[in-house]
Every structure is written in C-alpha cells, then in structure tokens.
C-alpha cells in the first residue's frame, strides 16, 4: 500500500474536512425524500488557484448548487481533482474515498495478476459485510479465487472465515464481491487476503504466507 508523508496527510485532511462540511446536511439525515429549492449561481470551484469543471462519471458537467445557505459539490469531481479515488455502494448508500488506486496486486506468472481495488467493511442489521473489488489483469479467465478473512474484535482474533468465488472473472474484467460474515457479529475490523487463484487454463497459483497482504477495513 502506498505511504504518504505527514504533510500530504495534513493537506488531504484539511481539504477533505472542508468538502465534508459543505456536503453534509446539518443533523442526522434520514433515508427519505424531501423537497428543496436548489439555487444555481455558476459557482466556480478552485483548487490551488486552478478552476475545476465538475463532471460525472460519463463526462457530463455537474453544476454545484446551494440549499438553505449550504453549498453542495459533486463528490467525484472534487475527489478526482484532489487525486482521490471514489466508489459508490448503492446498497449501503455509501460513498468511499481512498488515496490508493488499488490495494494490492497478486502476480500470475507471465500473465498479469489479480488486483484488489478496494475492501470495505460495513454492517447490515448487525451482521458484518465485507465488500471487495477485484480486477483480473491476466489474459485468461480466472475460474476461482480462494480467500481467507480473519475477524477481529477489540484487537483480538476470534474467528477465521474461508471461502471462494463461484463465478469466473473474465480476462481484464472487474468484479464486485461481498460476503456476509454471519456468526462474526462482534467484528470490529477484518484482514483479507487471496490465498489461491485457479485460471481457466487449469493453472493453480498458490500464494505463500510471505506473499499474503492483509488490509484493515473499518466500519
């Protein structure tokens, strides 16, 4: 995982705080609809002196607006300008920003590898749920990915969840996976790692303990 110096983190922290303060409606927002008046004033967004033209994932311009004196900015456009990466989890109504383009790449000899793009731990009705985004960088389809999830509560390991994928990941394709960690309700964070990959050519790549890369994902 990439490392950032203290100055970089301070800068990101300050700017991110400003963005969040403008985006979050005061108080606790319920999952409901409301009618509001949106005021468009041709708001000019600037970062370090440069102007930002906010666009959505399809390249369409998204104009900032004001509601009751609070300015709302499009998260993806501002995050892109700051060099952050954005993921939207519709089922959880959750936006995830991260500083790393990807978390880790497991190499497949002579043929690319499989890459962990993101790992996020959430809670659905008290049951921990782990979301993992993978990209197959190889020129062959991956039939199966075996993984292990270590579950921790209060910094103590209290359970290990082992499993595998059930559908192939095509060559150069991305996929989003999630697992409900039923029986591990006390989980505060997890450590996730791929332990084996089986390709459509029948090759089996086993990753040794030294090659395992664990990632902390907080709720």
Domain boundary among 52, 84, 116: 84
> pLDDT averaged over the chain?
77
pLDDT tens digits for range 98-118: 676 667 777 777 677 888 887
Same-domain status, 118 and 207: yes
Q: Judge whether residue 6 has pLDDT over 80.
A: no
Domain count within the chain: 2
Structural domain contains residue 90: no
Beta strand 127-136 with 174-180 is antiparallel
Structural domain contains residue 30: yes
Q: Judge whether residue 1 has pLDDT over 70.
A: no
Q: Judge whether residue 66 has pLDDT over 70.
A: yes
0.75 surpassed by pTM? no
pLDDT of 13: 45
Enter the DSSP assignment of 211. Answer: G
pLDDT of 94: 66
Domain boundary among 34, 54, 84: 84
Structural domain contains residue 16: yes
Confidence of residue 89 (pLDDT cuts 50, 70, 90): low
Structural domain contains residue 92: no
- Expressed as residue numbers, the domain containing 45 is 6-84
8 Å CB contact between 172 and 184 = no
Same-domain status, 126 and 177: yes
Structural domain contains residue 98: no
Rounded Cα–Cα distance for residues 150 and 213 (Å):
12
Confidence of residue 209 (pLDDT cuts 50, 70, 90): low
Beta strand 94-98 with 85-89 is antiparallel
Same-domain status, 124 and 180: yes
3-state DSSP helix/strand/coil % of the chain, to nearest 5: 15, 45, 40
Structural domain contains residue 97: no
Same-domain status, 150 and 61: no
What stretch of H or E contains 23? helix 6-23
Same-domain status, 42 and 124: no
pLDDT of 212: 66
Q: Rounded mean pLDDT of 12-19?
A: 43
pLDDT tens digits for range 126-163: 788 888 888 998 889 999 999 988 888 877 888 888 88
How far are the Cα atoms of 38, 142, 192, 206 from residue 210, in angstroms, in the given order? 54, 22, 14, 11
Domain boundary among 84, 119, 147: 84
CB atoms within 10 A of CB 45: 16
Same-domain status, 212 and 130: yes
pLDDT tens digits for range 22-64: 444 444 455 677 888 999 999 999 988 889 898 887 788 999 9
Query: Which carries the bigger pLDDT value, residue 3 or residue 68?
Result: 68
Rounded Cα–Cα distance for residues 181 and 158 (Å):
13
Q: Judge whether residue 9 has pLDDT over 90.
A: no
Same-domain status, 109 and 79: no
Rounded Cα–Cα distance for residues 96 and 143 (Å):
28
What stretch of H or E contains 72? strand 70-72
Residue 118 token pair: 């993101």
| Residue carrying the six token digits 């880790």 | 104
Rounded Cα–Cα distance for residues 172 and 83 (Å):
24
pLDDT of 14: 40
CA 165, 147, 139, 137 torsion: positive or negative? positive
Same-domain status, 108 and 181: yes
Same-domain status, 79 and 109: no
Same-domain status, 44 and 16: yes
Rounded Cα–Cα distance for residues 134 and 178 (Å):
11
pLDDT of 152: 84
The CATH number of the domain holding residue 146 is 2.60.40.3230
How far are the Cα atoms of 142, 147, 186, 214 from residue 190, in angstroms, in the given order? 25, 13, 11, 9
Q: Judge whether residue 76 has pLDDT over 50.
A: yes
């Amino acid at each position: 995982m990439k490392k950032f110096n203290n100055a970089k983190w301070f800068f990101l922290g300050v700017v991110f705080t400003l963005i969040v303060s403008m985006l979050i409606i005061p108080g606790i927002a319920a999952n409901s609809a409301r009618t509001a008046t949106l005021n468009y004033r041709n708001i000019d967004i600037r970062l370090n002196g440069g102007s930002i033209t906010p666009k959505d994932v399809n390249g369409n311009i998204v104009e900032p607006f004001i509601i009751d004196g609070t300015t709302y900015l499009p998260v993806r456009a501002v995050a892109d300008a700051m060099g952050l990466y954005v993921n939207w989890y519709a089922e959880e109504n959750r936006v995830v920003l991260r500083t790393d383009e990807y978390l880790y790449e497991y190499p497949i000899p002579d043929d690319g590898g499989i890459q962990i793009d993101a790992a996020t731990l959430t809670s659905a009705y008290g049951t921990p749920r782990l979301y993992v985004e993978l990209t197959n960088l190889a020129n062959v389809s991956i039939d199966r990915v075996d993984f292990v999830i270590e579950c921790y509560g209060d910094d103590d390991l209290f359970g290990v969840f082992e499993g595998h994928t059930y559908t192939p990941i095509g060559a150069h394709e991305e996929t989003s996976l999630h697992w409900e960690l039923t029986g591990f309700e006390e989980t505060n964070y997890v450590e996730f790692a791929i332990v084996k990959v089986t390709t459509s050519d029948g090759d089996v790549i086993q990753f040794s303990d030294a090659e395992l890369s664990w990632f902390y994902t907080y709720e």
